[in-house]
């Protein structure tokens, strides 16, 4: 057993712990953490802007050296000796954890990032080199650091600087590996900052190329850009107070979309500020009507941007992804609900329009749940490759890429023994064709929704055989077959069965048709047999023409595939070398129109086409 004493306890000085456990301070050491270093420095500039001391921000990235420089025109960082640290205040700001001007009643009335006194210290500790220039009392001062440790003391610099601070750093490859700056990510962030800080002029320079960002419209401009490709149900609603800015509108988009910020820091996981807005929207709409609707239905198509200013924000983690101040939720809820109630009374018809859509969405969701419930619970047996319907004649020893499914009229027409075989590499024969017998005619799927269709056990079992799922759950990659063959008698009733099956695929599995996976077997009406051969045809004449003049064949008419023996079925229906098939193609607009015509409510056209009436 090893000793455990005072000598085993490590005390990491200053920034050593940041380098040892960087994830605790910046979230991770991948691309996100890499870019978070820049955010920590820029956030300090934004603090200066919020307090009225900065109106320009310049970020310069060199992708060859992976260095970045952040410059502002603010007050600069004090360089005099700190009374507690007994070193230059500038040195303390970049090296002493929990040293900063944002605790309680410090130098800032509303702070963004350095709430724990860690931000730029973490940047310094996780950079190979960091240099800071700052102007105080007409003098430009400079200090350099290596992996967080000062390289000499603060000294006067020769660099010209009219006002403010410059911080230049390069993230340490020993910490971040192959991570690199992504100019698009930085540009997106600068775009956000320009809208969140109207009046702040931002320039981004990447390898000498300049990009400027500025906004006078604030969140309203951001919302307008976010919804430029959508149709609005009404004019956007905007609300600004000393504590927050909010802009939102309802669109024809599917889903609900929010962008949220706290003191200009984006909160991708949102938090209490967004929760307050969402609750206010739902309660205001429900209070203006007689019926109550679910929140997601009332907020369908809602696009919103919210920016809240919080003196002492509580974030989930150092990376500030989610706001957790409970008082912020109540603040937003009260203000937004009161304001929205007034707006709904002034905006004619908007509340009714939103409630009507919520009602449609609720019905659609109930229908979807009924469909999913209906297609579950098929009566199955345990097949060689999963749970499959008991009526299915399986072909387990093959892959979906070679397996075929034959859907036949009924149990009496089951051509199970007629299935064609293949040989394995070892020469062993195996079946690759499966057979599923129907129970007579199925219903007309063009006149039944999915929930109703799946209540039919035969149809439910057929869905299980195919394996793709149906409705929103359809995934053609899960299909158990390379092709599906419809095999029915060559008479009007048989054609009707095929038409009903095709309608089922058109209505509930159209992607099978689009993928060219549906076939119709063209089984003959007549068969001729002589001493030498057996032939098939649709007429007696076709059969007789296939025999020589001296042959005297016996020609008979098929009454149904149920009367064919295994050899005959294999020959005219199942063997790829001898069978005749029709491939079911899909011409979206025209075919959909024809299916609706022939399989719709008016049965006259259907009966005439299938020769079901005189």
- Pairing state of beta strands 433-437 and 483-487? unpaired
Query: What gap in Å lies between CA 190 and CA 203, rounded to an integer?
Result: 8
Structure-model confidence comparison of residues 578 and 56, the more confident one: 56
- The fold of the 219-369 domain, in CATH, is Ribosomal Protein S5; domain 2 (3.30.230)
Question: What is the third-level CATH fold of 380-523+558-609?
Answer: Rossmann fold (3.40.50)
The dihedral through the CA atoms of 21, 23, 26, 28 has a sign that is: positive
CA dist., res. 237 & res. 223, Å (int)? 10
Residue 425, φ and ψ in degrees, nearest 5: -60, -25
Q: Which residue has the higher pLDDT, 210 or 557?
A: 210
Please give the angle made by the CA atoms of 143, 168 and 83, to the nearest 5 degrees. 35
Parts of the chain belonging to CATH 3.40.50.670: 380-523+558-609
Q: What are phi and psi of 250, to 5 degrees?
A: -100, 135
pLDDT higher than 80, residue 57: yes
Contact indicator for 518, 499 with CB cutoff of 8 Å: no
Give 297's contacts (C-beta < 8 A, 6+ positions apart).
Answer: 357, 358, 359, 361, 362, 365
Residue 600 pLDDT level (bands cut at 50, 70, 90): very low
Centre a 10 Å sphere on the Cβ of residue 164 and count the other Cβ atoms it contains. 22
Query: Rounded mean pLDDT of 369-376?
Result: 62
pLDDT at 116 over 80: no
Q: Indicate the pTM of the whole model.
A: 0.58
In 3D, which of 288, 270, 566 has the Cα closest to residue 415? 566
Lowest average pLDDT, out of 132-146, 152-166, 591-605, goes to: 591-605
pLDDT digits (tens, 9 = 90+) for 30-48: 888 899 999 999 988 988 8
pLDDT digits (tens, 9 = 90+) for 453-488: 777 888 888 888 898 888 777 888 889 999 999 888
Reference 571, options 520, 536, 519, 531; nearest CA is: 536
The string of pLDDT tens digits covering residues 428-457 is: 888 999 999 887 666 666 666 777 777 788
d(CA 99, CA 87): 12
Q: Which of 419, 407, 609 is nearest to 517 (CA)?
A: 407
**Where does the chain hold its CATH 3.30.230.10 domain(s)?**
219-369
Block residue for tokens 């906004």 = 215
* Topology of domain 16-213, CATH: Heat Shock Protein 90 (3.30.565)
Q: Tell me the per-residue pLDDT of 252-276, one tens digit each, with 9 for 90 and over.
A: 888 899 999 998 888 888 999 999 9
Quick one: CA dihedral 290, 294, 300, 303, positive or negative? positive
Per-residue pLDDT, 6? 38
Under a CB-based contact definition with an 8 Å cutoff, are residues 264 and 50 in contact?
A: yes
Domain(s) of CATH 3.30.565.10: residues in the chain: 16-213
pLDDT for 155: 92
Angle at the Cα of 374 (from 371 to 379), degrees rounded to 5?
150
Alpha carbon of 32 to those of 202, 511, 544, 593: distances in Å? 22, 39, 79, 51
């Amino acid at each position: 057993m090893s000793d455990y004493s005072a000598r085993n306890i490590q005390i990491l000085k200053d920034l050593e712990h940041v380098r040892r456990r960087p994830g605790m301070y910046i979230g991770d050491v991948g691309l996100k953490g890499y870019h978070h270093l820049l955010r920590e420095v820029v956030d300090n500039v934004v603090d200066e802007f919020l307090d009225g001391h900065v109106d320009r921000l310049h970020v310069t990235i060199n992708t060859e050296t992976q260095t970045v420089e952040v410059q502002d025109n603010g007050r600069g960082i004090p360089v005099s000796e700190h009374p507690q640290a007994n070193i230059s205040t500038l040195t303390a700001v970049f090296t002493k954890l929990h040293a900063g001007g944002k605790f309680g009643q410090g130098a800032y009335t509303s702070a963004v990032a350095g709430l724990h006194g860690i931000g730029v210290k973490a940047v310094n500790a996780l950079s190979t080199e960091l240099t800071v220039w700052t102007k105080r009392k007409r003098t430009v001062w400079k200090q350099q650091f290596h992996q967080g440790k000062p390289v000499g003391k603060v000294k006067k610099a020769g660099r010209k600087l009219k006002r403010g601070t410059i911080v230049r750093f390069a993230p340490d490859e020993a910490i971040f590996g192959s991570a690199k700056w992504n100019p698009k990510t930085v540009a997106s962030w600068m775009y956000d900052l320009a809208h969140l800080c109207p009046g702040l002029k931002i320039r981004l320079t990447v390898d000498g190329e300049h990009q400027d960002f500025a906004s006078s419209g604030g969140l309203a401009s951001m919302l307008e850009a976010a919804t430029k490709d959508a149709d609005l149900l009404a004019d956007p609603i905007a609300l600004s107070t000393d504590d927050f800015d909010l802009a939102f509108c309802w669109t024809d988009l599917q889903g609900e979309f929010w962008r949220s910020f706290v003191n200009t820091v984006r909160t991708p996981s949102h938090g209490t500020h967004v929760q307050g807005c969402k609750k206010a929207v739902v309660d205001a709409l429900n209070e203006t009507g007689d019926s109550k609707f679910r929140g997601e239905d009332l907020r369908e198509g809602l696009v919103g941007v919210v920016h809240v200013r919080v003196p002492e924000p509580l974030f989930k983690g150092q990376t500030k992804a989610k706001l957790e101040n409970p008082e912020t939720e109540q603040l937003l809820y009260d203000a937004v609900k009161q304001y929205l109630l007034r707006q709904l009374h002034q905006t004619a018809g908007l509340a009714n329009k939103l409630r009507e859509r919520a009602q449609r969405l609720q019905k659609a969701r109930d229908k979807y749940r009924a469909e999913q419930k209906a297609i579950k619970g098929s009566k199955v047996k345990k097949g060689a490759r999963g749970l499959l319907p008991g009526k299915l004649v399986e072909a387990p020893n093959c892959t979906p890429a070679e397996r075929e499914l034959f859907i036949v009229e009924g149990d009496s027409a089951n051509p199970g023994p007629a299935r064609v075989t293949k040989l394995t590499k070892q020469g062993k024969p195996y079946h690759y064709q499966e057979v599923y017998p129907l129970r007579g005619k199925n219903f007309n799927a063009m006149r039944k929704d999915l929930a109703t269709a799946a209540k039919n056990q035969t149809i439910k079992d057929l869905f299980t055989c195919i394996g793709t799922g149906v409705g929103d759950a359809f995934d053609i990659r899960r299909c158990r077959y390379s092709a599906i063959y419809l095999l029915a008698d060559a008479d009007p009733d048989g054609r009707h069965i095929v038409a009903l099956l095709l309608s089922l695929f058109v209505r509930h599995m159209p992607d099978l048709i689009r993928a060219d996976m549906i076939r119709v077997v063209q089984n003959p009406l007549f068969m001729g047999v002589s001493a030498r051969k057996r032939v098939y045809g649709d007429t007696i004449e076709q059969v007789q023409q296939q025999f020589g003049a001296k042959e005297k064949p016996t020609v008979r008419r098929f009454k149904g595939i149920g009367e064919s023996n295994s050899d005959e079925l294999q020959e005219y229906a199942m063997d790829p070398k001898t069978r005749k098939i029709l491939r079911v193609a899909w011409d979206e607009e025209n075919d959909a129109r024809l299916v609706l015509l022939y399989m719709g409510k008016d049965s006259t056209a259907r009966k005439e086409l299938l020769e079901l009436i005189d």
